[in-house]
Every structure is written in C-alpha cells, then in structure tokens.
C-alpha cells in the first residue's frame, strides 16, 4: 500500500514539475518575442523627439532589405548583396545630413538663378570599426571615392566586459573632416562611445560625427546620445532591447561580421 502511494506521489510530482517547466519556457518565449521586431512607428516618433540627432531610414524603403538580412537562413551571397544595398542608403543619408556649400551655378539651363549644392570628397573621412564596420567601406568609397579612411579596434575586456580601445589610425587632419563612423550595430552603446571618445581626443567635434549602423537597440542609442547629444546616429531600424538572457544578440541580425564575410557555416 505504501509503495502504491509513493508511486502515485512520484507520478503527480513529476507531472506538476513538467507543467511548471513548460510554463516557464512559454513565459521565456513571450518575454523574448518583442526583441524580434522593431519598435512601432508611434514609439519611434516619441523616441526621436527625445533624441533629434537620431535618423532612421523610412520603413517602406528598407523593410524588405532588413527582412532578408534578419532571416537566419539567408546565405552569404544574398546577405552580402542586401547588406550592401542597405549600406549604400545609409551612407547617402549620412552625406545628406552633413554640412555642404551653396555656390552660384554656372551654365544653368533654367531661366531663373540657381545655386549648386557642393561637397568635396576629401572633406569626408570614413572611420571603420573593425571588423563588422569594414563591410561599409566598399559602398562608402563608391559614393565618396576621394574620402580618407581611418580604422579603430575596440574589444571587450575578457574579465570586466568593458570596451577597450586597442588600436586606432586616423588621418592627421581628421579634426578638419566630416567623419562617417561605421559599425554594424549599436547594442549596449559601449563600443561606439569608446570610438567617439577616441575621435574627440584627436580633435573631432561631436557635430562632425555621423555614426552609421544597420540596426540599433533602444538602450544603446539612448546611452550614446545622452553622452554625445550632437553626434548624428543613422540607422535602418531600432529594436526594443538587448537580450541578455539567451546566448544571442539583439538587434537581431546575428553576428554580422561572420555572416557578411562568410566565416560562419550556413
């Protein structure tokens, strides 16, 4: 009789444990679900009111490109193709937000006086954050073939996880340049903030820096723009948050560098 009661008790306990684990797993997935989608249009508008130097590309212009990039089954050749298309739009947006000169236009075909909006390639410097930022260089130099190029490497400290400046190489006159700082994502904001500090230590003003990335997370952008309110952040989309529970990084494009350069199995 006692053995029968013990068996019933064990069966009931295991059943309750199983239901509990299932409920916890469902709750975990429910919590994770928002990380897979961008913040809504109304939330984005409110976010931009707080940070007017944040520029987000038009949803209808980029949603198809992003959907391909964010799909984990996308092969390297397509990931690279769609990333390049998106990067080109981001670089053009960065150029449009930098200051330009208005000069009288000679030989105008119109009947009214006209002015030409000009900028010189050499007034720009593309600063690449190794290594995912390297993916931006090809498209940037197609748009700005005369631009100078700088490189910066920021890595996490193995114990503290704090970002550390490992290496940087900038043109000597970078303090006179309009800087386009490239990285794939803004997650916690630590890497990009470290890079901005390095640029400032070389004489670059905040208002002359445009930080360009594929996708950002809300927390990271907030950190960067609270610290550097005059820096322009240009992105294709803003995710809700950075997931610290699972071994994945959101904004959700996976490891951009591995996927773009083909150093991960598909």
Q: What angle do CA 91, 56, 29 make, to 5 degrees?
A: 120
Partners of residue 235 on adjacent β-strands: 56, 213
Provide DSSP, 249-265. Answer: -TTTT--HHHHHHT-S-
CB of 190 closer than 8 Å to CB of 162: yes
Mapped onto helix, strand or coil, the DSSP state of residue 108 is: coil
Query: Model pTM?
Result: 0.79
CA dihedral 181, 182, 187, 191 (to 10 degrees): -60
Q: What is the pLDDT of residues 171-214, one digit of tens each?
A: 999 999 999 999 999 988 999 999 999 999 999 999 999 999 99
Q: pLDDT tens for residues 95-121?
A: 998 876 556 566 555 566 666 666 777
Characterise 16 by phi-psi region: left (phi > 0), alpha (psi -120 to 50), beta (else): alpha
Yes or no: say if 53 and 232 are a contact pair by the CB < 8 Å rule: yes
Under DSSP, is residue 116 helix (H, G, I), strand (E, B) or coil?
Answer: strand
Residues 6+ apart with CB under 8 A from 50: 222
User: What is the distance in angstroms between the CA of the first residue and the CA of the last residue of the chain?
Assistant: 58
* pLDDT tens-digit profile, the chain (266 residues): 555 555 544 555 444 444 443 344 344 333 333 334 577 888 888 888 899 999 999 988 898 999 899 888 899 999 999 999 999 999 999 999 887 655 656 655 556 666 666 677 788 999 999 999 999 999 999 999 999 999 999 998 888 888 999 999 999 999 999 999 999 999 889 999 999 999 999 999 999 999 999 999 888 999 999 999 999 999 999 887 655 444 444 556 878 888 999 987 65
- Cα 64 from Cα 44, distance rounded (Å): 19
* β-strand partners of 215: 185
């Amino acid at each position: 009789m006692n053995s029968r009661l013990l068996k019933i008790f064990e069966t009931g306990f295991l059943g309750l444990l199983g239901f509990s684990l299932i409920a916890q797993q469902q709750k975990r997935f429910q919590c994770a679900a928002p990380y897979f989608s961008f913040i809504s249009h109304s939330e984005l508008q409110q976010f931009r009111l707080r940070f007017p130097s944040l520029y987000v590309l038009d949803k209808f212009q980029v949603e198809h490109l992003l959907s391909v990039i964010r799909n984990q089954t996308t092969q390297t050749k397509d990931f690279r193709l769609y990333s390049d298309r998106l990067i080109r739009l981001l670089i053009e947006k960065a150029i449009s937000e930098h200051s330009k000169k208005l000069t009288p236009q000679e030989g105008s075909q119109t009947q009214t006086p006209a002015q030409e909006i000009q900028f010189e390639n050499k007034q720009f410097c593309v600063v690449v954050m190794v290594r995912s930022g390297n993916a931006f260089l090809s498209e940037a130099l197609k748009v700005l073939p005369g631009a100078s190029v700088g490189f910066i490497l920021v890595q996490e400290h193995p114990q503290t996880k704090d970002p550390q400046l490992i290496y940087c190489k900038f043109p000597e006159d970078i303090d006179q340049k309009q800087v386009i700082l490239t990285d794939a994502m803004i997650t916690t904001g630590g890497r990009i903030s470290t890079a901005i500090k390095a640029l400032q230590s070389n004489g670059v003003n905040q208002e002359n820096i445009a930080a360009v990335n594929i996708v950002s997370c809300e927390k990271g952008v907030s950190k960067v723009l609270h610290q550097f309110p005059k820096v322009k952040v240009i992105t294709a989309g803003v995710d809700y948050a950075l997931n610290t529970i699972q071994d994945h990084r959101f904004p959700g494009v996976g490891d951009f560098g591995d996927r773009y350069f083909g150093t991960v199995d598909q």
